[in-house]
Amino acid sequence: MSFFNHTGAAFSLGLALLFAIAAGLVGSFGLMKRMLLAGDVISHIALPGLGLAFLLKINPILGAASTLFLGTLLIWHVQKRTGLATENVIGVVFAASLGIGAAVTPSEDLLEALFGTNKSISLSNFLLGALAVALVISVVWKMRDRLILNVFSSELAAATGVNIDRVNLYFLLLFSLTVLVGLRFMGSLLTGSLIIVPAAIGRRFSTRLSEFLIASAVASLFSVGTGFFLSRFAPKFGPGPSIVLVASVLFALSLTRAGHSFSGKAKT
């Protein structure tokens, strides 16, 4: 039993590190698109699904996935039909999700839903999570030129044949899939922070897009690895709070660095 416990813990840490890479990359493009806070808000959309899953005694990840992707499609559809800014639509859906989630989540499961857990995972769960991360990274890489063009000028992107609505939908779905992988470790309240903070750190240490992406991923990896280590001294709480604490300290240290940061107009 000890062997399986250690193996499950290794799978959990491995998946968390893979999630960190995806979060760093998605967060970098989110920062450039000026929708970085969407990562934090979208993670809250998972709360109603988590609450219903706990209530019905089914897999919490399945419940979270249902509301995450339904909410993402709703955000994209409303933004497309009304012309409202994405952050405005996300804010409305966020408020409704938080209220519903808090109402339906059993009190004994609320902490896990909000802050995550340090439980071991099975090989099948690890492989599913790793597949999701591989999908996020591969799609970001494949779409990188369209994403960059859309960041700099949506009019130019449309003129060159880029379907702006489709790119925005795919990016929102990547956000949601990244959040879904991280929910197990950081919960609906904290997952978005690993999309926000490492990207802000990476911006301080880069002048080129490639450097920005690498720096964000490295900051995310360091935060997760160190956070998991620190959580061993406070096992009652999941690794989420420790990860956020480490990332916040890194960001504070990055503010002491003199020099220019990535402006969104640097060479790739």
**Residue 144 CB-half CA count within 13 A:** 12
**Per-residue confidence band for 3, with pLDDT thresholds at 50, 70 and 90:** very low
Spell out the residues 6+ positions from residue 103 whose beta carbon is closer than 8 angstroms to its own: 51
Mean pLDDT for 222-231 is 92
* Residue 141 placed within a domain: yes
Q: How many distinct structural domains can be found in the chain?
A: 1
* Residue 61 placed within a domain: no
What is the pLDDT of the chain when averaged over all its residues? 81
Which residue range forms the structural domain that includes residue 215?
2-41+116-254
* Residue 85 placed within a domain: no
Q: What confidence tens digit (pLDDT) does each residue in 6-49 have?
A: 687 888 899 999 999 999 999 998 888 776 666 667 777 888 88
**Per-residue confidence band for 191, with pLDDT thresholds at 50, 70 and 90:** confident
Q: What confidence tens digit (pLDDT) does each residue in 43-78 have?
A: 778 888 888 888 888 888 888 888 888 877 877 777
Q: What confidence tens digit (pLDDT) does each residue in 153-181 have?
A: 777 777 777 788 888 888 888 888 999 99
pTM, two decimals, is 0.82
* Residue 68 placed within a domain: no
Q: Are 161 and 28 in contact (CB under 8 A)?
A: no
Q: What confidence tens digit (pLDDT) does each residue in 74-129 have?
A: 777 776 676 656 566 666 666 677 777 777 777 777 777 777 887 788 889 899 99
- b/e per residue 34-45 (b: at least 16 CB within 10 A): ebbbbbbbbbbb
Q: Which of 59, 93, 62, 63 is nearest to 76 (CA)?
A: 93
* Residue 96 placed within a domain: no
- b/e per residue 206-225 (b: at least 16 CB within 10 A): beebebbbbbbbbbbbbbbb
Residue 46 to residues 1, 33, 150, 180, Cα–Cα distance (Å): 32, 22, 27, 8
